[in-house]
Amino acid sequence: MLWLSRVTHQPHTDDNMKVTALLIICSCLLLGISGKPQFPEQEKDPKFWNSWAQRTLKNAVTLQDLNKNKAKNLIFFLGDGMGVPTVTAARILKGQLNGHSGEETQLEMDKFPFVSLAKTYNTNAQVPDSAGTATAFLCGVKANEGTVGVSAAAVRSQCNTTEGNEVTSILRWAKDAGKAVGIVTTTRVNHATPSAAYAHSVDREWYSDNEMPAEALQAGCKDIARQLFENIPNIDVILGGGRKYMFPKNKSDVEYPNVLKHSGTRKDGRNLVQEWIDRMKDKKGHYVWNKKQLLSLNPNNVDYLLGLFEPADLTYDLERNTDTDPSLTEMVEVAIKILRKNPSGFYLLVEGGRIDHGHHEGKAKQALHEAVEMDRAIGRAGLMTSTHDTLTIVTADHSHVFNFGGYTVRGNTIFGLAPRVSDIDQKPFTSILYGNGPGYKVVNGARENVSAIDYQENNYQAQAAVPLSMETHGGEDVAVFAKGPLAHLLHGIHEQNYIPHVMAYAACIGQNREHCMPISGTAGLRPVFSSIATILTVTRLLC
């Protein structure tokens, strides 16, 4: 197919379009005539598939021995915008990056024994946003779009609807139970997803006081960056972007001193980073802003860590400076090394936040590489923990109007062309397409001929059906992958706000404690009704 992409690189002419179509059709016919299989030879033998199915069946039977241990640790991976089509495409990409056809590859999340679906709608939105969904999967309460850490009684951007409508998150429940807690994200640490873990804001875009209306400030509402340090002052690990929201307005950024857009934004003149450093100086607290500083730390000598690696969001993984910027996997590894020192365990929120941004920009290659990197982080976390005492959940907040199709052959590069041209305009098209977004382009009154451009370039914007400056979210259910103690409670189809209740139940925190054994340990959970039944049985025997 690489040969095919080269020969179809033609100018915008009717004759060349016909030639392009002919070449594509002929190449497909030649592949078929040659008899060369587009899949491993062993797949022709029914024994291959039967043996694979039998191995899978034997593994499935063992799941009858459900893990009912108490979850000492909780890890929640959130792929922002990682709908099922994104999961499938990322699986293929992962395989192809490793030299395989891709379809048969397993993502780390694919290996989780329990999978369910979550309904993602917000209380006031059929197709949700990342703020209302974050409130659901972190606070256990469905909420309005654009709001974080508040119930649906709060109205977006109306400060006076905040008070009395605050809801707390599982990160807070874990902290109150004595666990270490952490947040790791590839976006700003005060972006929609992480902010629902600690903030109560009727507007997700109130990153600092600079982004807030005067009346909201006068009414006493706090910006999200400030709430990060004040609402739960001792979050053990905070890693991500968002430096500029922590510093006084116009203060030069340490990494980009001559770039005005990266300078501090705070109108109140506060230096939240320095305040944190001063507060943590006697508590083994460390602040870092680059990869070298992060990886040079000895986790045994760090109890609190604040790492802000960019003024706003981290760069896409494909564009990341591997010398100065840490990967999501590297951040997760450092976080776990610090958090697991707590004898009571930990709760860790990890967000692959730029999957969403890649899709919004119509840049599927960026989005899918972000998803593959998050899968690496999931694998690393799995190696550092045990399913015996660690409940790990992987899911998405919402989907996107992203998909791939076009009857592509086995092993076709996920960023490649469909094997046939359109029977309407006789032009080729990429397998990946968006329902709407910036990839909608018209050239000379007709659909752009993708064979005349580099459609495998990192920032290529895939063609879209409807022109929009930014592609939109999708409204379908998202997958929820789970492993570890009580992971089987995630089954079937559930409301998205069910997720943190399962995690809290498994860890005996928050409002879910009555079913737990009175003494701590890994001996497991005992439902309340079984204890009552035992008492009744003994009473009956004695009487």
State the Cα–Cα distance between residues 357 and 237, nearest whole angstrom: 24
Q: Was 193 annotated as part of a binding site?
A: yes
- On whether the CB atoms of residues 187 and 314 are closer than 8 A, the answer is yes
413: phi then psi, degrees, rounded to nearest 5: -55, 135
Locus of tokens 């972007």: 241
Both tokens assigned to 12: 């915008």
Three-state SS for 496-529 is CCHHHHHHHHHHCCCCCCCCCCCCCCCCCCCCHH
Instruction: Please name the amino acid found at residue 32.
Output: G
Half-sphere exposure at residue 307, Cβ-oriented, CA atoms within 13 angstroms: 32
Q: Of the candidates 424, 425, 403, 428, which has an alpha carbon nearest to the alpha carbon of residue 414?
A: 403
Whether the Cβ atoms of residue 28 and residue 410 lie closer than 8 Å to each other: no
Residue 258 has which token pair? Answer: 């001559």
Q: What is the rounded distance in angstroms from the CA atom of residue 118 to the CA atom of residue 124?
A: 17
Q: What are phi and psi of 348, to 5 degrees?
A: -130, 125
Neighbours of 384 (CB within 10 A): 16
322 is in an annotated binding site: no
Confirm whether residue 398 is marked as ligand binding: yes
Q: Determine if residue 397 is labeled as part of a ligand binding site.
A: yes
User: Taking CA 387 as the corner, what is the angle to CA 386 and CA 388, rounded to the nearest 5 degrees?
Assistant: 85
Strands 304-308 and 237-241, by their bridges, are parallel
Known catalytic residue: 530? no
Q: Residue written as tokens 């399962």?
A: 502
CB 162, CB 201: distance < 8 Å: yes
> Are the beta carbons of 184 and 335 closer than 8 angstroms?
yes
Residue 69 CA, chain-centre distance (Å), reads 26
- The reply to whether 494 sits in an annotated binding site is no
- Gap between the Cα atoms of 314 and 366, Å rounded: 13
* C-beta of residue 397 within 8 angstroms of C-beta of residue 478: yes
Q: Which residues have CB under 8 Å from 151's CB, separation 6+?
A: 141, 143, 165, 166, 167
According to the annotation, is 501 in a ligand binding site? Answer: no
For the chain, the farthest-separated pair of C-alpha atoms sits apart, in whole angstroms, at 97
Catalytic residue (one of 5, 116, 130, 201): 130
Show the tokens assigned to 401: 């109007």
356 among annotated binding-site residues: yes
Nearest-angstrom CA–CA distance, 60 and 421: 42
Q: Dump the DSSP string for 185-247.
A: EEEETTSHHHHTTT--BS-TT--SGGGS-HHHHHTT---HHHHHHHTSTT-SEEEEE-GGGGS
- How far, in Å, CA of 344 to CA of 323, rounded? 35
CA 424 to chain centroid, in Å, comes to 38
| Cα(450)–Cα(182) distance, integer angstroms | 44
Q: Does 203 show up as a binding residue in the annotation?
A: no
| Catalytic annotation, residues | 130
Annotated binding site for Zn(2+): 80, 356, 360, 397-398, 473
Annotated binding site for Mg(2+): 80, 191, 193, 351
Annotated binding site: 80, 191, 193, 351, 356, 360, 397-398, 473
